[in-house]
Structure 1
């Protein structure tokens, strides 16, 4: 089982460059899987996290656009969504990042707790969250009938 940790990074008094775009005075969501910051991982260069989609993934199995290009246009970064499979005790992510197929499995209770805690932090944060707007891929289908490889 993988571990998930979510953090809100406030970018104040400095610049953050993602995908060649300069950001200042904003907040972004950082996703750590097994203590690896996915935004710093190979094939996540220029990516940002769509918190609304991440939050929606608590609602059940389906396809969610959890990652997008820093410009907000998912197809620019090659993002097509994360296939989320939820059971009574686990949440699995299946996605392609660049040339890699990635599969993660999280404890459901911890997953929900992490997302709810981040939601509370966002509710009191004064900075705008990036990406502010997201353009979904033309081929995006938020399927709720996904059946993927379950957690082992």
Structure 2
């Protein structure tokens, strides 16, 4: 990662840049910010290991989706070896049938080590919203 040469990115900047690129979506470009042994736990407990898997899953759930990042929080006590970063905000986009949505809450948890994301956990309200759309629950 060229950013590590003279002015390394902070763990929060690594996460923000990763999210900016993955939401294009450009999973190949986002991969520059991830470790080879990346572990992803996506909504519903889905295990993944590459940003392309996240993009492929999103392509089945949404026509398109983007994040509105409200804040990026770095947990105190982190080190170069391990820093935990949270990204909090909402999703907006379109369901597969073209119906727009916004305000879908998300929280992502990242572990950044030596300037690369080693772990990523993703939670959002999409499953609840899909259940409501199918008449299986109410919001």
TM-score (norm 2): 0.31
Query: Which structure has more RCO (C-alpha within 8 Å, separation ≥ 6)?
Result: 1
TM-score (norm 1): 0.29
Greater Cα radius of gyration, structure 1 or 2 = 2
Structure 1 or 2: larger strand share? 2
